[in-house]
Amino acid sequence: MIAWRWAALLVATACGAPPTPEQLADRAAADGRWEEALAALSQAEPTAGVLARRAEAALQSGNLRTAAVDFTRLASADASRRGEAASGLTRTAQAAGRTGDGLALTTALLGLRDVAPGWPLGRLALNVRLGDEAPPDEVLRLAPAILASSPGRDVGDRVLLALAEAVLAEGDCSRAVPVLTAVETRADPALAAVAGGLRAGCLLAEGMAALAAGDTLAARRALDATVALDPSGAAGRRALVALGDVYLGEGDPFAAQVAWRTAAAAAQSDTITALALERLRSMAGPGATGEPEIP
């Protein structure tokens, strides 16, 4: 087929007609100049035939995300070529996995999910760096397939954690907390600690929202849970500062100072330490000038 197109190009050139982008692409592809072929086809009308050739040129030249996009578009342009598109997407995903191109791999696998929902992703899915390359909504779409392909519990737990992180990135603690709880109860201690810290952040947000709404009881419940889950972490220490505010509002300055001192007693100073110290100074009165003593 390429030889026939090359002959047609020679005839057209001999007759004085300028070569078309497709003809230029054929000549470049015949010489293995895939970048030139891709550039030429980018100037052509994106028919199904052009999309197929452009996707192949992109794949051969290492432009893997372009290949994934065009193979996916091929299936939309001509439903009879879905099998060809799925095969091309598989080859693109394999190439992306070999080169470590996470974005291209994710794009190719998502294309496969759309073009051929029953196409087995297999171990290709395990190369996706969840939470690292893919946007959150794409993580949500790929995580079940990756979990199904996981060879062991540890990989599955990491997928669950990445899924929860993706949901949190969208600001949805209500959907993330059950997943985080599952990781805490079944994962190794290191992963469980990460999940616990993330869940503590959700509890802190819940407590701060309740405090802002004037619901002191709900605020204390959520903030106490945050401290219990993450006593020395950022979420737990910020919850202690907020609990001190609650105690002070309830007429218990001693409990407030204990909470603030505990929050300020960190190995390194940070913004939470500054908040706690500011409150302790205010309790010391307008004449206090030194740093409050931290036990």
User: Does one domain contain both 136 and 177?
Assistant: yes
Decide: 161 and 196 in contact? Cβ < 8 Å: no
> For residue 134, what pLDDT is reported?
61
Inside any domain, residue 173: yes
User: Does one domain contain both 220 and 182?
Assistant: no
pLDDT tier for residue 1 given thresholds of 50, 70 and 90: very low
Inside any domain, residue 200: no
Inside any domain, residue 135: yes
129: containing domain: 119-187
pLDDT in tens, 168-179: 888 889 888 888
User: Does one domain contain both 168 and 233?
Assistant: no
- pLDDT over 90 for what percent of the chain? 49
Last residue in a domain, options 187, 202, 234: 187
Max Cα separation, the chain? 97
Inside any domain, residue 291: yes
Indicate the range of 4-13, 26-35, 139-148, 190-199 predicted with least confidence: 4-13
Inside any domain, residue 111: no
pLDDT in tens, 52-108: 999 999 999 999 999 999 999 999 999 999 999 999 999 999 999 888 888 888 889
How many separate domains does the chain show? Answer: 2
pLDDT in tens, 243-289: 999 999 999 999 999 999 999 987 678 899 999 999 999 887 655 45
With b meaning 16 or more CB within 10 Å and e meaning fewer, what string describes 109-129?
Answer: bbbbbebbeebebeebbebbe
Inside any domain, residue 33: no
Last residue in a domain, options 138, 172, 187: 187
User: What gap in Å lies between CA 131 and CA 154, rounded to an integer?
Assistant: 17
Inside any domain, residue 183: yes
